[in-house]
Amino acid sequence: MSDQGGPDDESATIRRSDLRGSSSSTPGTAVDQDDSTVSRSSLKVRPAQDQPSRRRSSGATATGGSRWRALLGRRSSDDDTQSVRRHDVEPRGAAAGGSTGPASPASRSTRRRPELPTITLPRVQIPTAITQTGARLLDLTGDRIRPLAERSEPVWRPVLRTIAWVSALGWTVCLLGLLAWFLASRYEWTELAMIAVACLVLFLACVALAVGHAKVEIRTDVDPTRVTVGEPATGRIEVRNLSGRGMLPLLVELPVGRSAARFTLPSLGSGKSHEELFVVPTERRGVIQVGPATTVHGDPLGLVRRTMEWTERTELFVHPLTTSLEPLGAGLLRDLEGQVTPDLSMSDLAFHALREYQPGDDRRYIHWRSTAKHRRLLVRQFLDTRRSHLAVVVDTSPEVYTGEDEAVELAISCAASLALRSILDEQDTTVVCHDQQISRSTAALTLDTFARAGIGAIDVFAASGDAAALAPDASVAILVTGSHRPFIQVQRALAQFEVEVIKVALVIDPDAQVGVRHAGGLTILTVRELTDLRRVLFSGALA
């Protein structure tokens, strides 16, 4: 079949409606009946710009370079965009030489399947009425069941404790024996009956070994109860048989921190005792819980295990490392009671001046010689003094330190050294470290506070506010922090103290140079290790 046209015949298009097998498709052109039909396989795509202005079908896809543009989300121009339409095709023969031959069944083109639709499943939500109804039922049943459970506690509590004796392995053996017994009685299987008897007898024997009460007395001692990191700490456990007959070997467990010490006691006669020693690890700062000591009754297989507690918990305080420092009062103007302030007072030791007597003044402070000389009552007036008060705030946020947890431990050691020196100087001391606070206490209790303190992110502004509230009369305020804490945050935190307070920022930085500098109304001390603290304080940084 040939069409009438010029050199653009290759780009001419033929619609499906025009291919109906008519004798002629174009005026002046004769076409045979056999060639009047064109198969779908002999048709090719025509350019999109030659199509009549018609809306594209939903199944249209981009070809060639426009397909990548469509995948990239870009709009393609009308000049290079070609659209595949099921009803816009062209004979392949026109593209080859301008004439079409018989359709070849082997050259059948594949049709692109449309994309599958996306299905979005709605989220299953429980109606609010159901949840509210369930909550009300729980409240009603809880109010009614709770009194009944409290009255029947003497009955079900021992049963619950007895059930707790049996381990998962013991319940498995018991259920296996019952199941084998049921199957053996139903199907008359002798082997299953033997298995059932063996399992049940073993279970009952283990329960019998756990039943009984050992009459013993157990004592645990830890000496000393306060140590510094790395110092040895030993403990002692003593078990005495109080029964009138001999006692079989007994297993005693003693929790020590996160681990547990196990002692297998030998057979003890009546009134005999046995002693064991153990070592408590003190490599890290903290509070180690020792005890309670428990006796374990049960079988060697672990089917039944019954424990009884005999002692209370004992706390072992592992204090942080500290270094000896010079007295912190060097450079401070103090009298016998403390630092002198410009505030006037009617009762103190720092004499200031004389003034006329006013109703309500204490007659003990009348200066009689001056009164006789000037012939009017004169009383003494004093300058108010205050004791030196050190407030220490520790920033325990690991992210602000270089070295994280180890650097935080160094910061706590520096703060503990400052607090210990202040207490030895008979000054008031306030410490805020993570979730622990203490003020005006002894050296031992202050170090116990450092031992209890944890490591974690804190709000340094809120922590400094707590210290300012605990020590409104503070004379020196120290914030121990890391090098990654912004200076503006340190400045805002220490600004909560009074203006006359000496404000110091102790920065832990292993990469910086040890020294003292002043900036923004603060004294900044930089240390790399614990021994550097003595050097920076020796220069009178707190004066």
| Rg of the chain on CA atoms, in Å | 46
pLDDT at 335: 35
Comparing CA positions, the residue from 394, 400, 407, 507 lying closest to residue 450 is 394
pLDDT at 493: 96
Strands 339-345 and 273-280, how do they pair? unpaired
Length of the chain: 543
pLDDT at 319: 96
Domain 216-319 architecture:
Sandwich (2.60)
pLDDT at 407: 94
Look at residue 428 and tell me whether its pLDDT is greater than 80: yes
**More confident call, 246 vs 342:** 246
User: Which stretch of 69-83, 298-312, 358-372, 520-534 has the lowest confidence by average pLDDT?
Assistant: 69-83
Beta-strand runs (E) in 131-232: 216-223, 226-228
Domain residue limits, the chain: 134-211, 216-319, 344-382, 389-540
CA 252 – CA 294 distance, rounded (Å): 6
pLDDT band at 364 (very low <50, low <70, confident <90, very high): confident
Look at residue 310 and tell me whether its pLDDT is greater than 60: yes
**More confident call, 317 vs 65:** 317
In the chain, pLDDT over 90 holds for what percent of residues? 35
pTM comes to 0.59
Handedness of CA 357, 359, 365, 371 (dihedral sign): positive
Look at residue 470 and tell me whether its pLDDT is greater than 70: yes
pLDDT band at 285 (very low <50, low <70, confident <90, very high): very high
- ∠ at Cα 438 (434, 443), nearest 5°? 115
Look at residue 324 and tell me whether its pLDDT is greater than 50: yes
pLDDT at 509: 93
CA 508 – CA 524 distance, rounded (Å): 11
Q: What is the mean pLDDT of residues 257-269?
A: 86
Look at residue 198 and tell me whether its pLDDT is greater than 90: yes
The secondary structure of residue 334, as a DSSP letter, is B
Q: What is the mean pLDDT of residues 447-458?
A: 95
pLDDT at 349: 43
User: How far, CA to CA in Å, does 463 sit from each of 397, 400, 413, 431, 467?
Assistant: 12, 15, 18, 10, 6
Fold held by 389-540: Rossmann fold (3.40.50)
Which residue, chain included where needed, has tokens 């076409």? 31
Structure tokens at 81: 């965009």
**More confident call, 41 vs 427:** 427
User: Which stretch of 84-98, 290-304, 480-494 has the lowest confidence by average pLDDT?
Assistant: 84-98
CA 348 – CA 362 distance, rounded (Å): 13
CA 396 – CA 453 distance, rounded (Å): 9
CA 14 – CA 35 distance, rounded (Å): 14
